[in-house]
Copies of this chain bind each other. A is one copy, B any other.
């Protein structure tokens, strides 16, 4: 298998484009997501995105805040206990972003259906009889909407049942805790829908907290839920989920979570945030300096760090990684 380790800049340049259907993963609103990848998309000025978010995170909140999202399919648009996602909320309320609402179970089922190359996926009752079935952002003039969740007849019982369309994003950027240079990856914490996403997307880019030796995968093959066989590129970006948390590695930065979201209330606040926290760094070192040593110490000292212990011996150093990045095939 080939070495797929490339830089963040290269990955975003190669695997994203204006108007694409992009999906991020993504463990619920405040957990593991490829947020650094989203920052780089803003740096490279991507726009007109058709986004698939199982849940909103600070990534989609940022992309919406800067006006890069034309349309979003989403299961949950908030930030849990942190409140509404102001960037996304504003984009939807102003009509800049068309929202097509699904539930948190519906989106991963649609990923699963895409992964299986099915023509549709049974809803199993999800969203049935609700405005989520009847309101379509794509077809606002039709109420109740008939094509968002069309009904078919179950051939075994004759009963009517609703189905979903399947999802096949152009590219998924998925956060994982550890990856090797071939794209074999281990997630700690809930997978959420990252397994399904890694199989339904046409191209898959991993954003990893750590690059590990493949020996780690050979010791723990059952943990490798995303094998390199389905991965196109691997990016190393430490603390790449910040200000959200990566189970086993770092905690949420509560202060920045609130500040970031507060900034997105207005275009001005967003512009200021982007200047300060998106355009202000070029390298991983500068990114970490931006977060700050004290903050990093605080969030990396958390009650889940023991979960990383079995794997530490295989972690590659920054110097090794730099060399490997230069030798991607």
Interface residue ranges, A against B (CB under 8 Å) = 113, 116-122, 124, 147, 150-157, 159, 161, 163, 165, 186-189, 191, 219-223, 225, 306-307, 309-310
* Least CB distance, A302 to chain B, in whole angstroms: 16
Are A120 and B122 interface neighbours, CB within 8 A?
yes
A191-B222, A219-B310, A222-B223 known; 13 new pairs, CB 8 Å cut-off, are A116-B124, A117-B124, A119-B156, A119-B157, A120-B154, A120-B156, A121-B122, A150-B155, A152-B152, A152-B153, A220-B223, A222-B225, A223-B223
How many copies of this chain?
Answer: 2
* Least CB distance, A133 to chain B, in whole angstroms: 13
Are A222 and B187 interface neighbours, CB within 8 A?
yes
- Considering the chains assembled together, what is the distance between the CA atoms of A163 and B161 in angstroms? 14
* Least CB distance, A76 to chain B, in whole angstroms: 20
Across the two chains, which residue of chain B brings its CB closest to A117? B124
* Least CB distance, A207 to chain B, in whole angstroms: 18
Contact of A163 among B150, B155, B310 (CB under 8 A): B155
Across the two chains, which residue of chain B brings its CB closest to A119? B154
* Least CB distance, A177 to chain B, in whole angstroms: 9
Across the two chains, which residue of chain B brings its CB closest to A113? B122
Contact of A310 among B121, B156, B310 (CB under 8 A): B310
* Least CB distance, A276 to chain B, in whole angstroms: 35
